[in-house]
Amino acid sequence: MTDMKKSPTEQERVGVYVCHCGSNIAGTIDVDEVAKFAEKNPNVVVSRNYEFMCSSTGQELIENDIKEQGLSRIVVASCSPHMHEKTFREATERGGLNPFLYEMANIREHGSWATNDKEAATIKAKALVNGAIERVVHHAPLEKIPVSINPNTLIVGGGIAGITAALELAEAGHHVYLVERDGTIGGHMAQIDKTFPTLDCSACILTPKMVDVGQNDNITLLTYSEVESVEGYIGNFNITVRKKARCVIEDLCTSCGDCEEKCPQKVVDNDYGAGISTRKAIYRSFPQAVPGYPVLDKENCTYFQTGKCKICEQVCPTHAIDYEQKDEMLNFDVGNIILATGYDLFDARKIPQYGYGRLPNVFSSMEFERMVNASGPTSGHIVLRDGVTHPKSVAIVHCVGSRDQNYNEYCSKVCCMYSLKFAHLVHEHLPGAEVYNFYIDMRTPGKGYEEFYHRLLKEGTHFVRGRVAEITDADRNPGEENKLIVQAENTLLGQQQRTPVDMVILSAGIQARHDAEEVSKLFKMGCDYDGFFNERHPKLAPVATMTDGIFIAGACQGPKDIPDTVAQGGAAASQVAKLISQGTVMMEPVRASIREDECSGCRICNTLCPYNAIEYDEEKDVSRVITALCQGCGTCVAACPSSVIDGAHFTNTQVFAELKGILWDVQEEITAKQEAI
Amino acid sequence: MTDTLTSRPPTLIDKIIAETPGKASNLYACLQCGTCSGSCPSGPDMDHSPRTIFAMIDSGLEDQVLMSNTPWYCVSCYYCMVRCPQEIPITDIMYTLKRMAIEAGYFREVDQDKAPEFSETFMDLVENNGRSFELGVVMRHHLRYHPLSAVKLATGMGLKMITKGRMDFTPTKIKNLPQLKAILKKAKELGGAA
Amino acid sequence: MKYGYYPGCSMEKNARSYHTSTMAVAKPLGIEFIEVDDWNCCGATEYIAINKIPAYALVSRNLALAADQNDSENLVAPCSACFLNLKKVDHYLQENTELKEKVDIALDAGGLSYEPGTINVQHLLETLSVDIGLDAIKAQVKKPLYNLRVAPYYGCLVPRPATMGSFDDPEHPTSMDKILEVLGATVIDYPLKAQCCGGHMTQISENTALELIRRLLKNAQDSEADMIATLCPMCQLNLDAYQDAVNAHFGTKFKIPIVYFTQLMGLAFDLPENELGFGKEIVSAKPALAKITEQAPKPKRTRERGKKNVGLPMPIMAEEG
Amino acid sequence: MSEQFEPVIVGFLCNWCSYRAADLAGTARIKYAPNLRPIRVMCSGRVDPQFVLQAFRSGADGVLIAGCHPGECHYVNGNIKALRRFALLRKTLEQWGIEQERVQLLWASASEGTILAAAVDRMTEEVRTLGPLRWGEKVLIDEAVLAVGEEV
């Protein structure tokens, strides 16, 4: 490191802190060796390793060293800056230094967690730490830039999560744009009959909230609409929404329902009706729909398909039908965004051995929810596919598409509980019927959940511990004729068991929305392998995301039951409310600036800037950065032919220094050879 | 590769995994869900359901595992394998268990069980001719181990097969038998059984 | 189109009719099957149970020969067991270097060598349904098998294990169904189409095997099938030759002919009877074949189960299932 | 250290996608070649060709530039600008005898930890087979140029 001694900045007094993160780092990286190595750098005056740098004691180490050892620069080697950069900047500041005189070396996510090779991990850690040291000595004190927060909020998804969040904010006096893809809000909760474990009627507790949303002046409700584009950043997002043409003039429609009643075209309702009920071509998903005006489904409308009919137009007393209606583009600004886009149910057709779609009396869980619902196609009667026969025996199959490498590896969390609920509902509706629950493990964590399981045990449900292998109508033994045979091992007996039943219900798991990937890209945030949106921190920031100003709530973040979903809706709302009441947030001062005296006025940067944040001064023949508009991407910095644009906190000098630093070992070889020559 | 974090001396499960091609290490991840046993066509006739065998393997009950008739009752239908939620190559593991049982000389204890002899009869034929043929195997197998049923066979179904001209008594030999024998001889040196 | 051809031991005698009918239908479809010279037994499901390396070496010799004689990179096996053994060995040799090294040494002892992956192993059904395709087959149909109710039976080893990639669904295959439909036959939705025929269980635990066979026959009879179409000598043998034993053991009266799907193709192609090997089956197919009529049955869903479907709508199925 | 040559690869990762992809790879405990030494930049569009040259001068055997997928750039289209520069840069480097494999451009979104890890593994192997670059030594003659470069 002879050349480092020549470093012009060796007068800087750097403190280096290597974090063990328990065994997360220390288990793979020799933190002691790394700290000792750092000490050798001429700029370093203090080099420590400590078990948990993010702990208050860890932070105090920094603060005290700054005061006592007169440190001028701080380097912490621990986790990702996206995890704790803020923490240590604040510690640096409390110590009396400008927070930007601090640099982080990510030796956990990019180091100890990414390899098992201890030696290699330690070498890499040394490199990253050295890079940070070399970089930080070139840091300059910076001031954060205040950004004002637009008090309006966009909420995407009108399920119980979105509804909760919208009401929380609206009732706190903030304006909300609630965007829902379907014709009505309500989401999955509007489809289901009873909620576990309390068994209160889902619609009864949901619809009042839906009405509140419809009536609250602080909520702009945009149903049958989808977000087209999202521009900007925290506090200042610009949103474009496509309001799809429902062919109904909302101002004229009185929601009388005549059009729906008279429409001659019956369609199987695969959305709200889960495919076992029908609706009309112009329809409201259900009577309590909010808003009350219907949607005209062009694919199935006789007029749109054949050019004849127009019955709805004739019967509409207020002439609210408009076949010419076009999609409408709405544009508005918001300060924050809450995504509550919910989930899709696993498609049981993907498991052929369960016969769903082939065997009529195999039902999906949502089909059963609709069937057992008083407002459903059978007005709440549990019947076979023929629509009349009551089953004498019902098998409920857990873990359909969950806990399975072939489909979804994770546990869907709610299926055990709703399967128990189904069992109860069958007992309640058909007292004589036998009910069998086939499960791998009974998972009932939650208030009153285990008690509900015990209640079902007492109600006489048969619980078979064994994952169902196949469901067939091929009878083999006497007593199986014209039945569905559920074949599984009763693992507690170690015996294969064939259970003949009349009806099978497949408890399908929860999946990310089929288009979750595109949505996450639209909002510039991440999803995990399963397509669920990534929270900022799994424990400590469950509703925040890596993108400031964007929050998530409900099952779009992972399988969740109603209580947890409502809790997250509220949590997201309060996070937004906090930002609104702050009024402004401090933004990273990572901005470009042009040294005008050296600018040649070539204007290359002007056209490159994606935010038109660079203006050209005719008189002086120089370009100038409009700091308020600059987002700090640095494209102009890289492009400037005369290198007179500085990207604060990412200056060429800083990057070059870091580069040299992380290549210390290979550097040594080279310099050795250089000196040889 | 396996993700196991333990560095304990190899136990029964480790040995079995090492001896099985494919993603055998998934066996570590067995959920004991019973999908395999529920799917198994011959499951009801097994001493232990496949799932039970895996539990026994994990508990290191080597003798009981290798003495069990379970692997010998596997019909290689692969239902368990395609349905296993942990993608365990169950059928291949059953083959491994058969080999280990033979090596350990265990299968002989499973008296009602003729499987190993059957496999061996079959193997002899193949090694000496390069070709086999179901009925030859069947007849020889029965003549060798169950003369009585062989007679029944010869007069019953066997007879029909002969009259239908579907049955040979000597298989056709391949031309380059020495080559095959050389290959098999070398292969056996390289770790014959298991 | 040229294909390497691995008949396997059964085709020599027991499943002769499968072999001859395969050769017969190949011609009009423009397939040239070139038999691998001096191939040896694949070891069925037995060999691997005794010896690991020799079992792999045994199969590798065939792959090596096929590669040397390289008439085509495709090697077609009509027997399910042969097909799977060839495909599996080729697959595991690619995956497992240690295994490959040993097998290489063994092959070398016989002056052979094989580079895994050079041969693409296919089952005959894949060749016909994927490579040749339904349209080409349809074009050859001269005498449609109208009103012949056929239960398509796949057995285990063609659809499974899908771990090496399969051309059909491991649980609910349909490729043979489609071929038979093209031939004009009435195809039964046969729930046990991919269940086990008992394999070698007939020799190990006859009762176990007989029960497995009974299920298949019973289910075929329940769905009023005139015959069962197979694609595997072992399946054919167990269902055909053991039918008497099943009847004796369970007091049933099954009389269901078991034929190879290639025989039915030949019939529909109106090829000379003697090439198709009918009459070799123990339960005669004659009475069933007599049911074939000149004119097509009035169109109705082949999926009878669909009929019961009144009342609540059924879930819509994606076409390819 | 093992006998085989362990290449040193410098990675310029954009703050919004690729750096987070690497974070995710770590969080998910995906193991990949420890040969990558990441440097965070706000956007792949910030990567100045000088950075790459400097990396090679300072002894790197390979340079990976990683950013958001086209159309997903946090700064609208910085990654497209990176792409344009990259094409040019690669040509130039080739003329100086630096093989294509040594400088690679990758799109990895915040959710694509696996993709990033796989790419690093692949690149490490490719560069390993190429062997050490030692460009730093090769350009000793250009020391002057080098010095200028560092002033920037």
Rounded to an integer, the average pLDDT of C168-192 is: 95
- Is C192 a domain residue? yes
Indicate if C296 and C158 belong to the same structural domain.
yes
Q: Which of A106, A112, A633 to mutate to test the interface with D (most CBs of D within 10 A)?
A: A633
Measured between beta carbons, which residues in chain B are less than 8 angstroms from residue A491?
A: 32-34, 37, 51
* pLDDT computed for residue B150 by the predictor: 58
Task: List residues of chain C with CB under 8 Å from any CB of chain A.
Answer: 169, 171-172, 189, 191-192, 215, 218-219, 222, 303, 305, 308-318, 321
Measured between beta carbons, which residues in chain D are less than 8 angstroms from residue A662?
A: 10, 37, 39
Locate the chain B residue with the closest alpha carbon to C248.
B156
Model confidence pLDDT, tens digit, residues B83-102: 999 999 999 999 999 989 88
Domain boundary among C81, C96, C124: C124
- Is C312 a domain residue? no
Element (H, E) at A168: helix A160-171
Higher-pLDDT residue of D70 and C220 is C220
Contact status, residue C207 vs residue B114, Cβ threshold 8 Å: no
Measured between beta carbons, which residues in chain A are less than 8 angstroms from residue B79?
A: 469
Q: Look over chain B and give the mean of its residue pLDDT values, rounded to a whole number.
A: 82
Indicate if C75 and C154 belong to the same structural domain.
no
Cβ-nearest to C110 among B115, B164, B179: B179
Whether B105 has its CB under 8 Å from any CB of chain C: the answer is no
Element (H, E) at C80: helix C80-95
Report the distance separating Cα C18 and Cα C25, nearest Å.
11
Measured between beta carbons, which residues in chain A are less than 8 angstroms from residue C189?
A: 358
Neighbours of chain A (3+ CB pairs under 8 A): B, C, D
Whether B39 has its CB under 8 Å from any CB of chain A: the answer is yes
Is the pLDDT at B1 greater than 50? The verdict is no
Domain with CATH 1.10.1060.10 in chain B: 12-109
Neighbours of chain C (3+ CB pairs under 8 A): A, B
Percent helix, strand, coil in chain C, to 5, is 45, 10, 45
Q: Which of B19, B131, B132, B148 to mutate to test the interface with C (most CBs of C within 10 A)?
A: B132
Higher-pLDDT residue of B78 and B133 is B78
Indicate if C117 and C146 belong to the same structural domain.
no
Domain locations in chain D as residue ranges: 9-151
Domain around C219: 141-307
Measured between beta carbons, which residues in chain B are less than 8 angstroms from residue A490?
A: 34
Report the distance separating Cα A582 and Cα A148, nearest Å.
9
This prediction has a pTM of 0.83
- Is C318 a domain residue? no
- Reduce the DSSP state of residue A416 to 3 states and report it: helix
Cβ-nearest to A469 among B38, B48, B52: B38
* pLDDT computed for residue A528 by the predictor: 77
Contact status, residue A550 vs residue D135, Cβ threshold 8 Å: no
- Is C98 a domain residue? yes
Is the pLDDT at C126 greater than 50? The verdict is yes
Contact status, residue B24 vs residue B47, Cβ threshold 8 Å: no
- Is C316 a domain residue? no
What confidence category does residue C309 fall into, taking pLDDT thresholds of 50, 70 and 90? very low
Domain boundary among C91, C124, C157: C124
Domains of chain A plus CATH, in order, are 2-144 (3.40.50), 153-340+552-582 (3.50.50.60), 344-511 (3.50.50.60), 592-647 (3.30.70.20)
* pLDDT computed for residue C38 by the predictor: 94
Q: What is the strand order of the sheet A362-364 is part of?
A: A362-364, A503-508, A393-400, A434-439, A462-465
CATH architecture of B12-109: Orthogonal Bundle (1.10)
Whether A411 has its CB under 8 Å from any CB of chain B: the answer is no
Cβ contacts below 8 Å, chain A against chain C, sum to 69
Please judge whether A357 and C315 are an interchain contact, meaning their C-beta atoms are less than 8 angstroms apart: yes
Whether A27 has its CB under 8 Å from any CB of chain B: the answer is no
Please judge whether D22 and A528 are an interchain contact, meaning their C-beta atoms are less than 8 angstroms apart: no
What confidence category does residue D150 fall into, taking pLDDT thresholds of 50, 70 and 90? low
3-state SS, one letter per residue, for A242-287: EECCCCECCCCCCCCCHHHHHCCCEEEECCCCCCCEEEECEECCCC
Is the pLDDT at B142 greater than 70? The verdict is no
* pLDDT computed for residue A197 by the predictor: 96
Indicate if C115 and C147 belong to the same structural domain.
no
Report the distance separating Cα C191 and Cα A122, nearest Å.
59
Please judge whether C57 and B184 are an interchain contact, meaning their C-beta atoms are less than 8 angstroms apart: yes
Please judge whether D74 and A524 are an interchain contact, meaning their C-beta atoms are less than 8 angstroms apart: yes
Is the pLDDT at B2 greater than 60? The verdict is no
Whether B33 has its CB under 8 Å from any CB of chain A: the answer is yes
* pLDDT computed for residue C45 by the predictor: 74
Report the distance separating Cα A302 and Cα A309, nearest Å.
6
Model confidence pLDDT, tens digit, residues B17-61: 999 988 899 999 999 999 999 999 999 999 999 999 999 999 999
The alpha carbons of chain A give a radius of gyration, in whole angstroms, of 31
Domain boundary among C90, C124, C158: C124
How far apart are the CA of B150 and the nearest CA of chain A, in angstroms? 30
Whether A116 has its CB under 8 Å from any CB of chain B: the answer is no
* pLDDT computed for residue C44 by the predictor: 78
Whether B35 has its CB under 8 Å from any CB of chain A: the answer is yes
Please judge whether B82 and C43 are an interchain contact, meaning their C-beta atoms are less than 8 angstroms apart: no
Rounded to an integer, the average pLDDT of C274-296 is: 93
Please judge whether B183 and C204 are an interchain contact, meaning their C-beta atoms are less than 8 angstroms apart: no
Please judge whether A494 and B40 are an interchain contact, meaning their C-beta atoms are less than 8 angstroms apart: no
Model confidence pLDDT, tens digit, residues C64-119: 999 999 778 999 999 999 999 999 999 999 988 888 999 999 999 999 999 999 99
Neighbours of chain D (3+ CB pairs under 8 A): A
Q: Which of B39, B47, B53 to mutate to test the interface with A (most CBs of A within 10 A)?
A: B39
- Reduce the DSSP state of residue A425 to 3 states and report it: helix
Angle at A206 between CA A200 and CA A211, to 5 degrees: 145
Report the distance separating Cα A375 and Cα B165, nearest Å.
68
Other beta carbons within 10 Å of D96: 11
Locate the chain B residue with the closest alpha carbon to C7.
B131
Looking at domain D9-151, does it have CATH number 2.60.40?
Answer: no
Measured between beta carbons, which residues in chain D are less than 8 angstroms from residue A656?
A: 51, 54, 150, 152
Measured between beta carbons, which residues in chain C are less than 8 angstroms from residue A278?
A: 313
Model confidence pLDDT, tens digit, residues A282-300: 999 999 999 999 999 999 9
Indicate if C167 and C26 belong to the same structural domain.
no
Please judge whether C40 and B180 are an interchain contact, meaning their C-beta atoms are less than 8 angstroms apart: yes
Q: Which residues contact A369 (CB under 8 A, 6 or more apart)?
A: A191, A192, A193, A274, A376
Give the DSSP letter string of chain D. Answer: --SS----EEEEEETTTHHHHHHHHHHTT----TTEEEEEES-GGG--HHHHHHHHHTT-SEEEEEEPPTT-BTTBSHHHHHHHHHHHHHHHHHHTT--GGGEEEEE--TT-HHHHHHHHHHHHHHHHHH----HHHHGGGGHHHHHHHHH-
Cβ-nearest to D77 among A113, A127, A610: A610
Please judge whether C310 and A475 are an interchain contact, meaning their C-beta atoms are less than 8 angstroms apart: no
Please judge whether A386 and C308 are an interchain contact, meaning their C-beta atoms are less than 8 angstroms apart: yes
How far apart are the CA of C201 and the nearest CA of chain B, in angstroms? 7
What confidence category does residue B136 fall into, taking pLDDT thresholds of 50, 70 and 90? low
How far apart are the CA of D24 and the nearest CA of chain A, in angstroms? 7
Indicate if C109 and C185 belong to the same structural domain.
no
Indicate if C113 and C54 belong to the same structural domain.
yes
What confidence category does residue C166 fall into, taking pLDDT thresholds of 50, 70 and 90? confident
Tell me, what DSSP letter sits at residue C127?
A: I
Measured between beta carbons, which residues in chain C are less than 8 angstroms from residue B88?
A: none
| Beta strand ranges found along A125-257 (DSSP E) | 145-148, 153-156, 176-179, 194-195, 200-201, 219-222, 225-233, 236-243
What confidence category does residue C297 fall into, taking pLDDT thresholds of 50, 70 and 90? confident
Please judge whether A496 and B44 are an interchain contact, meaning their C-beta atoms are less than 8 angstroms apart: yes
Q: Distances in Å between the alpha carbon of D118 and those of A3, A517, D68, D130?
A: 35, 20, 16, 19
Indicate if C24 and C101 belong to the same structural domain.
yes
| Beta strand ranges found along A401-467 (DSSP E) | 434-439, 462-465
Whether B79 has its CB under 8 Å from any CB of chain A: the answer is yes
Instruction: Return the residue matching tokens 């423009």.
Output: C30
Cβ-nearest to C109 among B42, B122, B186: B186
Q: Which of B35, B45, B87 to mutate to test the interface with A (most CBs of A within 10 A)?
A: B35
| Tokens coding B55 | 């539990």
Report the distance separating Cα B85 and Cα B74, nearest Å.
19
Whether A469 has its CB under 8 Å from any CB of chain B: the answer is yes
* pLDDT computed for residue D142 by the predictor: 58
Rounded to an integer, the average pLDDT of D18-44 is: 94
Under the phi-then-psi rule, with left for phi > 0, alpha for psi from -120 to 50, and beta for the rest, what region is B10? beta
Rounded to an integer, the average pLDDT of B67-85 is: 93
Indicate if C150 and C208 belong to the same structural domain.
yes
* pLDDT computed for residue B167 by the predictor: 75
Model confidence pLDDT, tens digit, residues C16-25: 999 999 999 9
Indicate if C170 and C88 belong to the same structural domain.
no
Is the pLDDT at B177 greater than 70? The verdict is yes
Which amino acid makes up residue B139? M
Q: What is the sign, positive or negative, of the torsion defined by CA atoms of A428, A429, A431, A436?
A: negative
* pLDDT computed for residue B22 by the predictor: 83
How far apart are the CA of C20 and the nearest CA of chain A, in angstroms? 34
Indicate if C104 and C208 belong to the same structural domain.
no
Please judge whether A117 and D34 are an interchain contact, meaning their C-beta atoms are less than 8 angstroms apart: yes
Contact status, residue A82 vs residue D26, Cβ threshold 8 Å: no
Is the pLDDT at C320 greater than 50? The verdict is no
Indicate if C164 and C82 belong to the same structural domain.
no
Report residues of chain A scoring pLDDT below 70. Answer: 1-10, 674-677
